[in-house]
Amino acid sequence: MNHANMTNKGPETGAFFQRDREWHPQAFTPWYKTSVTRSPQRALLSMDNTLSEITGPTFGHNILGEHDNDLLINFAKPGETAIGPRIIVYGRVLDERGMPVPNVLVEFWQANAGGRYRHKKEGYVAALDPNFGGCGRTITDENGFYNFRTIQPGPYPWPNGVNDWRPAHIHFSVFGHGFAQRLITQMYFEGDPMIDLCPIVKTINDPEAIRGLTAALDMQATIPMDSRAYKFDIVLRGRRSTLFENRLEGN
């Protein structure tokens, strides 16, 4: 037994380090039209979570389906698979000290290889893939690692400007100690020229923050003749935390 790792301390739930507000996008950015109506009209207030917000529920592997982290087959017919470039996405969920965060529920959702989501209000005419649902989930292990298989999503147009397109991306949701502690972000792909053209990405002030949202191609983790691999670490808190779209004021 490793007594050096034993502790009676509870989980830390308060603010750890001073936030760098310049790291986060401004709430009001007119070139991203949605921000015009959603941005606060008054000064922001920072409030600690209540006890009911930071306690329960807990997540265990017994709530996961066998193929929840395999988007290639989790909605496919038996013997069939999703269409598109096959990839593995993996990484760690870390705190601002670089320490792993275990037993975190990570959810992910995305468009298909043609850039189309599977929902009723989708406005893009690209074809649906009947074998691709576009969503899944997993739980980080004791060292904070997660992984899942999927197809690389395609870019798609959106009605922000006359000819605006979203770069290929995967959405992530990370749950903490309670449902109120939920962080949502997007992962982009290394080398995609459309990242710099995206009005949403252009709201981010610091190029390093954009790089923190961009998964690195990792040829050492590929499966030969099968899947490429991308590495994406998520930092939950602190001065250089991953940018979370539902916590633009800082988390």
Of 24, 86, 166, 237, catalytic: 166
What letter represents residue 177's amino acid?
A: H
Of 116, 137, 149, 169, catalytic: 169
Say whether pLDDT at 55 is over 80.
no
Of 156, 177, 230, 237, catalytic: 156
Say whether pLDDT at 222 is over 60.
yes
What is the average per-residue pLDDT within 92-120? 92
What letter represents residue 66's amino acid?
A: E
Say whether pLDDT at 228 is over 60.
yes
Model pLDDT for residues 61-101, shown as the tens digit of each residue: 567 899 999 999 999 999 999 999 999 999 999 988 888 98
Determine the pLDDT at residue 3. Answer: 44
Rounded to whole angstroms, how far apart are CA atoms 195 and 168? 8
**For this structure, is 97 an active site residue?**
no
Yes or no: say if 116 and 124 are a contact pair by the CB < 8 Å rule: yes
State pTM to two decimals.
0.85
The percent of the chain in helix, strand and coil, each rounded to the nearest 5, is 15, 25, 60
Q: Dihedrals φ, ψ of 219, to 5°? A: -70, -20
Q: Who has greater pLDDT, 27 or 86? A: 86
**For this structure, is 24 an active site residue?**
no
**Domains defined along the chain, listed by start:** 67-223 (2.60.130.10)
**For this structure, is 156 an active site residue?**
yes
**For this structure, is 177 an active site residue?**
no
Of 19, 67, 171, 228, catalytic: 171
**For this structure, is 171 an active site residue?**
yes
Helical ranges in the chain per DSSP H:
34-38, 51-54, 207-212
Model pLDDT for residues 162-173, shown as the tens digit of each residue: 999 999 999 999
In this prediction, residue 38 has a pLDDT band, given cuts at 50, 70 and 90, of confident
Of 32, 117, 188, 230, catalytic: 117
